[in-house]
Structure 1
Amino acid sequence: LFYKKYNEEGEEYTLYALSGARHEDFAHLPVIRHTPILDPTLRGEHIVRSDDITKDPRYGQNRPHHGMPEGHLPVRSYMALPVVTRSGNVIGGLFFGHPEPGVFSENEEELVKNIAGQAAAAIDNARLFEAKQQAEQKARLIIESIPQMAWTALPDGSLDFFNRRWLEFTGQTAEQAQGEGWQEVFHPEDLSLTVDAWQRSLSSQQDFEVEHRIRCGADGSYRWHLSRGVPVKDCDGNILQWVGTNTDIDDRMQAQKKIREREKLFREAEMVGNTGSYEADLATLRFSFSDNLYRLLGYEPQSFVPSLDFIDAVSHPEDVADARPIIKKAIRDKQPYEYVRRIYRPDGQMRYFTVKGKVTLDKLGSPVKILGKVQDITEQKEAEQVINKHLTLLKQAEETARIGSWEYDIDTGALHWSKGMYRLFGIPEGSPVKPELYLDYVIEEDRPVAERIVHHFRESQEPLEETIRIRPNSQVVTMRVKAVLLRDKQGRGKKTLGVNLDISEIKQLEQENLELRLDQQKGLLLAILEA
């Protein structure tokens, strides 16, 4: 029995089994090759049976020989059958010879056919087993050479091999990892997920993939890994083994965790700060809004796809016209922009928004996107409107009642006067001012009062209320000075807001009233004395 093998030079036939003769009888003979007599057998064409092969016309045409090779056992009766697998591949040949002619009949041919079938099955199985062993050995060599943890498993899912990197990382021995021992190194919270995924892959014969934590034997810490396994199948689709890897993705998972945490903080910060963010693709004019921007506009998060038409439709018409040239200029100049836009919510309420944007460029320096931030400043705008109203009233009061107001920044020492203050002191509007001006204009009798006022500006953190007389010109003006302190969230004084009221007329009336009352009391006393 000869079987076919392949080497670098091509196919060759090797003696597999021998009966009725010694191996030494064939050891010195040349390698079997395609000759006119052997060719039908080696090609699997048909059975050759001859009562006397030496009389066959094909005999002797095997150059450089002209018959049997020298030293070959004498053969007259000859029978040869190809050994063919079920798939039709010729894997060898059965050869029978006898020194006497007419030995093999049809009965022997039928018998040998069965033997050839069994030989084909035996050789096929042997080759499959050898191929399986070679494949396993090759797979293990590859698995040992890759820079990550790897393993193999039998067709039923029993893990039978772990490479050195697995053993080094987990601290397990090869024996400890066998069977279900590998499950001990997985995080308890991930074990059920891992086992279920593995069982599904075994049932479906599909690839296995799962992310889980594996314990490090060195310090007991767990690191995230991406585990993958693929079935290795034969030509008939039968699983020969599973091959898998465990890739360390802990750095990636930790980075993703930090990103999620930052995104959460960003979302919370947007909600606390009444802000939202947006992105606009300049090529497609596609927009994307953050969840809180939807909320600020009065809509459920991600409830629709925003567009330029939508933005214009919910905006005040005047702001649509004003915003477009601002944005176009920013894109042209590749510069940031900022403006205020009024937006109408679905309930009809109008809100004020500060819109900021930054133009991003591609590698060639061309604008491609706009990244922006939006902040709801409605309360601020309403507060400004109230302040402006109060300022208007204050201005009217200053003009009619001779009142002046001022503001002092404690951190910078800057003093700001209203127009009324300049009028009270008789100073040109816009002239530099400082607390010490009280000392320059105060009458001598009230200098201690002026010094207390200056000291309050520099040192005090308490409310102020003083009456002082100044001489801005030839006349003396009596003023009531009142101030309150504004503090920050930590209770530290930030600004002093004050008002000066000209009470000269009141003081004059008080004096005149006092003189009248004194005259009345004097007249009454004289009347009593006369009585």
Structure 2
Amino acid sequence: MPESTTFELLEEVKSLRQRVAELERQQAEGNRSKADDLACQYFNLAGEMIIGLDANQTISLINERGCQLLEAEESEIIGKNWFDHFLPDSNREEVRDLFRKLIQGDLMPVEYFENVVQTAHGSLKSIAWHNSLLKDDSDRIIGTLSVGVDITARKETEQALRESNQMFRQISENIKELFWVCSPDWSEVFYASHMYEVIWGNTCQSLYDDPRSWMNSLHPDDRDLIEREIKTKSTGELFNPDFPRFRIIHRDGSIRWMLARAFPVFDENNQMTRIVGIGEDITRRKQDEDAAIELHQELERCVEERTSELARKTAQLQAMFNAIPDAVLVLNRDGVVVNFNSQQKSILILSTDLRIGSRIESLLPGEVGNQVKALISRVEDTRQIETIDYCLVNRGENRWYRARVLPYLSDEILMVIEDINHRKLAELELSTLHEKLSEAQRLSHIGSWEWNLQDNMIWWSDEVYRIFGVKKECFVLNYESFLQTIHPDDRPQVAQTVEQALEHDLPYSIEHRIFRPDGEIRYVQERAVLKKNAAGEAISMHGTVQDLTERHEAARTAQEYRDILAHASRLAVMG
């Protein structure tokens, strides 16, 4: 009985051990299944892309995040060549070559790597990779397992930040104002543009090393004022960003005037974190302002002097106005007298009573008054001086007067009436003499001329124009155009004669031929002498030109007659 029991117990123990072993095996398998499930859940729930590549560059594993980044289903990704389908042309072969070397063991694995991938839809994304090698039991590399993080947004942010920083530096380095950024208590300078070196003459690095070194250059008379202003702005009282104008002493010893403004920068908690400032060198502006003030003071002084001088000149002009021998009338637009200089002179000239309020038609009766009234209207419209000469009976005789109408004020006209009786008679007599002289020249075929050596212009009398066969309005008179009218064979002799006369101050007389515009050749005789000023300088040459063509024709005809008679005499002798 006891032996049987012991055997049975041993069998039962053996059976129990087997059962326990089976239970332990089943439990281990269950634990592994749970671990696999947990790993699978983590694999798909991971926030980064997990991808496995075999040695043939084929995708063997990818999680859901990877599918999202590559914009494709898992079935569309697994089994495809990673480099051919998901890398852009720009870096495909370079990365493929690195992968080959890594699989072959020729390249040490890189734990962190960044490159651009191309999604199934063609968009580009920047990925940061954490790589590890997969090996078999014989320690042979069979692939890679990589975790990729999408850093596209970060790259774009970094690029935008770089561009913003570059733009900020370009602006701050190219403006003529000083731009700076400092701490709220002014104890640290974070940035200062290059204009600090231009305006202060010190390096920006010296300002970074000692943020208060800029104050060492403050003008002694302005130092306390600026230090108080900084203390005020350091407490956050930046309601008025402007600094008072102050001076600094440049490194070269010159004094510069500055205009500065400071603005606070607050964080999301409304705490001041920075002070941003702008400073401008206004030395030139200050000099201009000081010069303007000085000029204004000088102008006021000049105005006072000119006012006094004007009063004196006004008195002088009034005296001169009254002393003018001519009658001077101030008229309004309607031709009514509003002022005049001397009634006695006006009475002598106008032969009637002159009063303020008189109309010009009544002062100059008949057609003359109407002509002057029309003259006033023209001057009012054109603002140009108009003149009229007229004859009136005054003091029992016909006398000539000249009225000049001038624009004066916007609503007034100035009229000056001058007694020109003697001058007019002289002009008439001169005109008569001129007509007689012109007629005498025409009859004698002698014209007069004058050459102004200063401006090279020549004046001809009417007879000279007739002799040369040209019209005044069609011919520009100077020495060169005169020479062009001379026959080419005679031109050198004439030019030489004129040069000798100018050089030796000698009168000359010369005969030569001229070409008229119609092609006719005429013979003339020129006589001329030099005219000098008081200093003995030759200023002009004047002379006469006589048409000798008829004389030459008569001489030629007489010679022909003599030749005929001589020929007839020879024939008679010969019988």
TM-score between the two structures when normalised by the length of structure 1: 0.45
Larger radius of gyration: 2
TM-score between the two structures when normalised by the length of structure 2: 0.42
